[in-house]
Amino acid sequence: MSIQELCTVRDNRQLTGSVFALTLEAPRISSAAAPGQFVHIACGEARLLRRPISICQAHDGLLKLVFAAKGEGTQWLSRCSAGDVVDVLGPLGHGFDLSALGDRPVFIGGGIGVPPMLQTMQAARAAGAQPTAILGFRSRDAVILEDDFRAAGTVYIATDDGSYGIHGFVSDVLRAHIGAFTSVCCCGPKPMLRALAEIAQAAGIPCQVSMEERMGCGIGACLVCACALKAEDGAVRYGHVCKDGPVFYAEEVQW
């Protein structure tokens, strides 16, 4: 279901040098949101296109988004402050399939792919599973949301430069512990997702990946957010990240 809601900013807080946590008053969108879905936010009059941002948490009428200020749109968003009003479409897309996680799912995020895994992990825990998170960052100063994840289950943190937690990639951590898990859910750069999907496949457990693509409408009408999927005959077909995704089962994706 797509809702357009004018949301008042409750809080906008800098987590690291470039990453912000934005809390919006969004009673309608937050009550309809499911883990892994995203919102499409208008970032000022000067930019035609909205920006897709994953839902990090939705509860009590609030929507928490965690985003990196990169280009003009997200920089505009980073300058919003309490009391400002932003135009939000959501909740969009289809999120993680929570029905097939098993009792020991692992939630893996890389960099700015970490935030959407939080609500997903919390939902799994609420459903009675014993979840684990593997979170990967560039370095110690890029680590975000650690306490929130620790409150939801077991957490491994890996940094590329070894300045915090395990020195290495999330894929190294997954490979080392793969026997302990019943399923994988992940979000991050495509090469990371692909590596994780291969490890999960070799272990014979289901793997869901959250994909990224440039968007127009964000709701499935313009067909610009193409994602190469495997057709039944093995050929390529294009699904759409905003409507068929952003979450896909790894075996559907034409890597």
Partner 1 sequence: MADLRVNFCGVELKNPVTTASGTFGFGHEYGEFYDLGELGGIGVKGLTPEERLGNPAPRIAETPMGILNCVGLQNPGVDRFIEEQIPFLRQYDTRIIANVSGTTVEEYAGIVEKISDADVDLIEMNISCPNVKCGGLTFGTQPKMVEEVVSAAKRVAKKPLIVKLSPNVTDIAEIARAAVSAGADALSLINTLLGMRIDVESRRPILSNIMGGLSGPAVFPVAVRMVYQVHQAVDVPIIGMGGIRTGRDIVEMMLAGASAVAIGTACFADPMAPVRALHELEQFLDEHGIASVTELTGGLRI
Ligand X SMILES: Cc1cc2nc3c(=O)[nH]c(=O)nc-3n(C[C@H](O)[C@H](O)[C@H](O)COP(=O)(O)O)c2cc1C
In angstroms, the CA 29 to CA 145 distance is 22
Q: Does 225 bind ligand FES (CB under 6 A)?
A: yes
Q: Which of 218, 239, 245, 246 binds ligand FES (CB under 6 A)?
A: 218
Q: Does 221 bind ligand X (CB under 6 A)?
A: no
Residue 171 beta carbon to ligand FES: minimum distance, rounded to whole angstroms: 29
Contact call for residues 10 and 25 (beta carbons, < 8 A): yes
Residue 217 beta carbon to ligand X: minimum distance, rounded to whole angstroms: 8
Q: Which of 25, 224, 226, 252 binds ligand X (CB under 6 A)?
A: 224
Q: Does 222 bind ligand FES (CB under 6 A)?
A: yes
Instruction: Give the binding-site size for ligand FES (rule: CB under 6 A).
Output: 12
Q: Does 143 bind ligand FES (CB under 6 A)?
A: no
Alpha helices of 10-84 — where are they, by DSSP H? 27-32, 72-78
Q: Does 50 bind ligand FES (CB under 6 A)?
A: no
DSSP code of residue 60: T
From partner 1, ligand X, ligand FAD, none, interface partner of 125 (C-beta below 5 to 8 A by class): none
In angstroms, the CA 23 to CA 219 distance is 23
Within 10 angstroms of residue 169's Cβ, the number of other Cβ atoms is 19
Query: What's the chain's length in residues?
Result: 255
- The arrangement of strands across the sheet holding 132-137 comes to 166-167, 154-159, 132-137, 105-110, 183-187, 207-210, 247-249
From ligand FES, ligand FAD, partner 1, none, interface partner of 88 (C-beta below 5 to 8 A by class): none
From ligand X, ligand FES, ligand FAD, none, interface partner of 121 (C-beta below 5 to 8 A by class): none
Q: Does 237 bind ligand FES (CB under 6 A)?
A: no
- The arrangement of strands across the sheet holding 85-92 comes to 51-54, 38-41, 85-92, 3-14, 19-25, 62-68, 57-59
Q: Which of 180, 221, 228, 236 binds ligand FES (CB under 6 A)?
A: 221
Cα distances (Å, whole numbers) of residue 204 to 102, 120, 172, 200, 201: 13, 22, 17, 6, 5
Q: Which of 87, 160, 213, 252 binds ligand FAD (CB under 6 A)?
A: 213
Q: Which residues bind ligand FAD (CB under 6 A)?
A: 38, 49, 51-54, 66-68, 70-74, 112, 115-116, 212-215, 241, 246
